[in-house]
Structure 1
Amino acid sequence: MNRILLDQARELLQHLLQNPLVGIYLIQDGRFVYVNPCLAERFGYRQEEVCGKLGPADLIDGEPADYLKEGRQSLQGRHKDGRWVRMEFFRTATSFNGRPAAFGMAIDNSERHAAEQAVKEQLSFTSQLIEAIPNPLFYKDEAGRYLGCNKAFERFIGAPRETLLGKSVYDISPPDLAERYFSADQALFDKGGTQTYEASVEDAGGKRMDVMFYKATFRKAGKLGGLVGVIADITERKRSEAAVWHSANYDPLTDLPNRRLFLSLLQGALNAAPGGDAPLTVFFIDLDRFKEVNDTLGHERGDLLLIEAARRLELAVGQEGRVARLGGDEFTVIFSGRHTRPKLDELAARIIARMSEPFALGCDTAYVSASIGMTSCPDDARSLQQLLINADQAMYHAKALGRNRYCHFAPAMLEAVGERLQMGNDLRAAITAGQLQVHYQPVVELASGRIVGAEALVRWHHASRGWVSPARFIPVAEELGLINAIGERVFREAAGTALTLHRCAGLEAFQISVNVSPRQFVTPDALEGWLEHMRAIGLPGRCIAIEITEGLLLDERPEVARRLLEFRNADVEILLDDFGTGYSSMAYLKRFDIDSLKIDQSFVADMAGNGSDRAIVEAMIAMSRKLGLYVVAEGIETEAQRKVLCEAGCDFGQGYLFSAPVPRQRLLDMMRRPANGSER
């Protein structure tokens, strides 16, 4: 039995000695007494080159005293070709031939060592990479406890990572934020994948900042291992986005909501009720005579006025409404909720009172007023578009009533809009069909009663409406841009009539004046052909005069001055119409070389019985004399008015006392017969 066991042991030993994967060795007196072929080959030698000839110190990197110690040791072996081979040595102390020896096995673990080294290098690289990331980075386990972070996260929370490990967000964040972060983590664990959200936080130094959290789960050993998160500072991006949004939604001059934001606010206010028609009121506010201030004092002063007007509006409205600027001198206010009519009247009156106060604009002082139109939902309309239309029409109605007032919307205003639209369509057709007529109101020399000229006036006889007052259709023509075509028609007919009278004996100096709209002066090519036409038909410039309003003199555009100068150089006289109703100054009268002033009929009407009006008219005439201008008084209807004007030294007059506007042929007949008084 013992022999059988001995044979088996020998067989096992022989197997180990010949095993190609395990090296076997016996060391004594610093030499290899025996190595099996596997170990010799691992070092690049033959078995006979090692046994009895080489010692451990020749092949193995280690202390010689360690070779006889029992145990396990990972060492490098020097290959015959000079490279290093990583081996795992297992040794046990023994004796051989009665002396100490060491018996052991060696396993080549170069590949495993290389793999472990690669893992270590990868971990080192990953660690360096994480530390190099400038954004705070952290990772947690599946329970939400911190497993680690980088230095940026340490700086972010103001604590070293050692104090963070094993803690949760509840330990390092305020309760409200901690609850949000924890809920977000749980949602990510439930769904997996990635997660992104924004938050407003304070860093360790107390600086408020906007951040973006980027989180993703990771798996470990085939199951959920936790999450990794990165925090990005988006404060500057949010600030830029806010600046872009503000620029797109707020007026750059007044910093009020602009039209875009106003429409959004109004729609939002309407949507506050389930049916989309929440109770609210819209004020549409337009500054009266702002353009005149802008033109006289300059756009810089005009901008200052708008800034101050916006401030006054906000003060007047307070917390009760939301003010916006639509553009130019147009403002709006949204009042949410239902307001009584007296309350709305009080709000509107408060705004008007604020706007009526003087505006200090640097060294200048300006005065404007406000016209307000108001409409309510759901009483007047339920849609955004209709509310805007209603408020706009109510505002225009306030202006038509004399400005510096407010008006509530009424359905009749929309009827007026429809009528105005129809009038515009009819007027276009009338111009195309040649239905407009030119009548002439004579201008009389007051001292002699002699007719010396006439004013050309356009008249319209509508097929169904009859005679339409110019006061009704001229504003429509201005608004629709039809005034240029009408002005061209009136000028050519007036020039033809003036030429006919010029050729009559004794009427060479007869002059016909033509009203010219400010729009014609600033519309390209609107007046370009007038002088050429006069030269073509042989009409002297002195036979035509053009009547302009005071507002045109305030227009600083170069084309206005250029065209006025062209008319003056062609001997066409310039008459300033409706003098005293605007903002003209002596400087403008001298600058544009005006020939004549026409005193507005509003001063003439009560002149005989009103001492103030009479004094104003007398002052105008005296001023004109000093400036070398002649004066024409409009709207003379009584002999008493004529007498007062003659006593004051007025040169010329026109009005129903002398003649109503008459057709062309009637004027020609009047001028061809001897002068014998008036044509009434």
Structure 2
Amino acid sequence: MMMPADVENRLMQEAAPLLMGLLSNELSGVYVIQGDRFIFVNQRLADLFGYTPEVLCAGMGPTQLIAPAYQPLAKREIDRRLSGEVKSSFFNFEGVRSDGSRLDVEVFGVATTFSGKPAIIGILLDVSERCKAERAVADQLRFIEQLVDTIPSPVFFKDESGRYLGCNAAFEDYLGQTRDQIIGRSVYDISPKDLADRYFAADEALFRQGGKQTYEASIAYADGTRHDVVFNKATFNNARGELGGLVGVMLDISERKRMEQAVWHEANYDALTGLPNRRLFHDRLREEVKRSQRGGGRFAQLFIDLDRFKEVNDTLGHDLGDKLLVEAAARISKSVRTSDTVSRLGGDEFVVIAPGIADKNAAGAIAQHIIEQMQMPFDLDGKLAYVSASIGIAFYPDDSTEMDTLLGYADQAMYAAKAQGRNGFCYFAQPMQVSAMQRLQTGNDLRSAVKAEQLVVHYQPIVDLSDNRIVKAEALVRWLHPVRGLLGPDEFIPVAEDIGVISEIGQWVFERAMQMASRWHALRGLKADADTAEAGIQISVNMSPRQFMSGSSAGWIEHLRQHGLPASALAVEITEGLLLDTRPVVIEALMAFRDAGVQVSIDDFGTGYSAMSYLKKFDIDYLKIDRSFVRDLTTDASDLAIAEAMIVMAHKLGMKVVAEGVETAAQRDLLRSAGCDYAQGYLFSRPLDEEAFARLLETSSLIATEAA
């Protein structure tokens, strides 16, 4: 319905004062712009900028209330409205008060006409507090973003649909993508399907149950490296208290895993050979027992001990000994099946678990293969060493169903193999248990034998083959066991070496032998000086490599002086392998004996290994031909040739030769013809106790020429 013009004009005139009152009292600033100046502002707007309405409408332009940085934007928006390009719009700018201070304002303007000309009528709001709060929130968000970016672990945010809302720099590095490439995408867009399925299922469970979630995974980074990580995830709510999504942190535990693996490996594997150690061996054995119990199967256990390893270790040194063990471990591992377990229990002891062995022959074949591998020479930094292997075999469940007992039985079978000459294998048999218990008891009894004065020394004469005169004697220890009677060295010396009392026994033998040497010198009325020393009896004392290493021989020379004995009253017998030991303690001890005039013999020459140059280097005085070369002199031409070669070589090097184990006149005559200097054996005399040997020296210094 159209209103008559006169009525409309009258209403406008009557409403004008009311409208102006409303505009003047409006809480928001109200303005009218025409051209480039205000034609109306209300009091609120004038107050906001520190002016009066009159001043603002007296020719000031809107841009004069706007900070310089915002003036181009404001001018463009005003021109767009005045030109009719746009009818209305919002925009924000920074205003400038009359005192120069700043405020944040929000403007809404509408294009109109006034007096027939384009104009803009608008509302201006002071939003300084709101902007301040928004800036504070923005600052907090920037701080949080920077803080999250400093976290070295990847951090990410997802919404309930599984799409990424944000992430930190570490997550970008993990994926090899920028934040812009990640945000808005799902896990299926950036991960292989199998991993994506796992991650998505885990997220669904978390959204369904709420709270927190932790699990481990192995993942590949964009650079190709693989990492073990722990995912820690938790849901979060938005400002309205509704489920907003989840936050996840990927903690890299690769180093921890490596350390745990290193600790586990160190606890379960031998550091030298890399084989399973005793602890892991028992675990593997336990598993094999369970498997055999479930399936009714059987398995073999092979206990391996290296023959003569102690000699190599003591003479060549621990470094080369370790290299031999590493090579031995490799040879054993190559000699068994891939299904077998090879472990090093310690020292030179190895054990093999061989599952599914159908019969003894199969286990024996494995043992024989190992033995053949061990027989080949070991090249240790240019020095050849020779060892062999003694192997004991026990079967589960035939011999025992108890793990410790089974291992003990294999050990006993190994000792039986050693007793049979080494370099072979034996199957466990029940009588071996008796032998093992006896060996254990021998060790226990031997620990107190010296203090209990159960040891005695017997002396076997060594004669000069040129005139059958007794010129030397070898001190041989015996054990007068309170129950078992008189025991020879073969029955307890190996045990003494195993339990570590050989140095104590060796020291006692030396001291006892020197007491007898002093007695015999006195018996013959000899003085302890170099002129008469050769007329006395020289006592040969055996020294094990371990005695050199313990340093127990350091006081021997002084001991001779204290007892008024010349250095030539003592001869030290060593194994030929000791000459290869280049450790200072061995070299210094040998040099000290040489400088003091103590003579040195190489015992059992030809049965071990040696470097010929060392014979001269250490001024060795005697070579003792082992009885194994003397035994068949009369029937084996090769043994005679070997003996003759040894004698010639020794004489060329300025050494004298002693033949051991001479039992027949024929042997003596052959040796004498070959130029051998001395001999000892049953042909001349069995080893005698102290009193018997003293009587022999009192009655005669000559030995019968035909029989002992």
Shared topology, TM-score over 0.5? yes
Match of 2:435 among 399, 416, 421: 416
Determine the C-alpha separation between the residues in 1 that align with 2:482 and 2:111: 134
Match of 2:374 among 336, 355, 365: 355
Cα gap change, 1:30 to 1:347, in 2 (>3 Å): closer
SS of equivalent residue, structure 1 residue 576: strand
Cα gap change, 1:285 to 1:183, in 2 (>3 Å): farther
> Is this contact kept in 1: 2:470–2:703, CA < 8 A?
no
Cα gap change, 1:249 to 1:635, in 2 (>3 Å): same
Cα gap change, 1:674 to 1:262, in 2 (>3 Å): closer
Give the superposition deviation at 1:451: 3.0
Match of 1:212 among 229, 238, 249: 229
> Is this contact kept in 1: 2:458–2:690, CA < 8 A?
yes
Match of 2:619 among 583, 589, 593: 593
Amino acid at match of 1:532: E
How many residue pairs match? The answer is 674
Give the superposition deviation at 1:349: 1.9
Give the superposition deviation at 1:432: 1.0
Match of 2:490 among 463, 471, 487: 471
Match of 1:437 among 452, 456, 469: 456
> Is this contact kept in 1: 2:82–2:119, CA < 8 A?
no
Superposed, 1:383-422 pairs within 5 Å as 385-422=404-441
Amino acid at match of 1:464: V
Q: Which moved more, 1:578-587 or 1:151-160?
A: 151-160
Cα gap change, 1:251 to 1:462, in 2 (>3 Å): closer
Superposed, 1:160-175 pairs within 5 Å as 168-175=186-193
Match of 1:658 among 684, 688, 706: 684
Task: Show the counterpart of 1:83.
Answer: 101
Extract unaligned runs of 5+ from structure 1: none
Match of 1:108 among 126, 134, 137: 126
Determine the C-alpha separation between the residues in 1 that align with 2:354 and 2:15: 106
TM-superposition CA deviations, 1:633-659 (whole Å, max 9, x none)? 333333444444444443333333333
Determine the C-alpha separation between the residues in 2 that align with 1:351 and 1:674: 55
> Is this contact kept in 2: 1:394–1:413, CA < 8 A?
yes
Determine the C-alpha separation between the residues in 1 that align with 2:106 and 2:417: 103
RMSD: 4.5
SS of equivalent residue, structure 2 residue 219: strand
Cα gap change, 1:72 to 1:85, in 2 (>3 Å): farther
Give the superposition deviation at 1:423: 1.9
Determine the C-alpha separation between the residues in 2 that align with 1:122 and 1:547: 88
Give the superposition deviation at 1:665: 2.5
Cα gap change, 1:155 to 1:491, in 2 (>3 Å): closer
Match of 1:547 among 567, 573, 595: 573
Q: Which moved more, 1:317-326 or 1:56-65?
A: 56-65
Give the superposition deviation at 1:9: 8.2
Superposed, 1:254-653 pairs within 5 Å as 255-257=274-276, 262=281, 265-267=284-286, 269-270=288-289, 280-290=299-309, 308-325=327-344, 329-337=348-356, 339-357=358-376, 367-381=386-400, 385-505=404-524, 509-519=535-545, 521-653=547-679
Match of 1:21 among 27, 41, 49: 27
Give the superposition deviation at 1:538: 1.7
> Is this contact kept in 2: 1:211–1:231, CA < 8 A?
no
Cα gap change, 1:224 to 1:620, in 2 (>3 Å): same
SS of equivalent residue, structure 1 residue 665: helix
Amino acid at match of 2:369: R
Give the superposition deviation at 1:354: 3.3
Is 2:219 aligned against 1:222? Answer: no
TM-superposition CA deviations, 1:366-385 (whole Å, max 9, x none)? 65433223334444455655
Amino acid at match of 2:419: A
Q: Which moved more, 1:138-147 or 1:66-75?
A: 66-75
**TM-score computed with the length of structure 1 as normaliser:** 0.82
Determine the C-alpha separation between the residues in 1 that align with 2:129 and 2:181: 39
SS of equivalent residue, structure 1 residue 371: strand
Task: Show the counterpart of 1:145.
Answer: 163
Task: Show the counterpart of 1:668.
Answer: 694
Determine the C-alpha separation between the residues in 2 that align with 1:656 and 1:224: 103
Determine the C-alpha separation between the residues in 1 that align with 2:97 and 2:481: 120
> Is this contact kept in 2: 1:25–1:35, CA < 8 A?
yes
Amino acid at match of 1:587: S
> Is this contact kept in 2: 1:16–1:22, CA < 8 A?
no
SS of equivalent residue, structure 1 residue 314: helix
Determine the C-alpha separation between the residues in 1 that align with 2:476 and 2:260: 58
SS of equivalent residue, structure 1 residue 662: coil
> Is this contact kept in 1: 2:378–2:385, CA < 8 A?
yes
Determine the C-alpha separation between the residues in 2 that align with 1:674 and 1:99: 158
Give the superposition deviation at 1:401: 1.9
Work out the percentage of aligned pairs sharing the same amino acid.
50
Determine the C-alpha separation between the residues in 2 that align with 1:449 and 1:144: 105
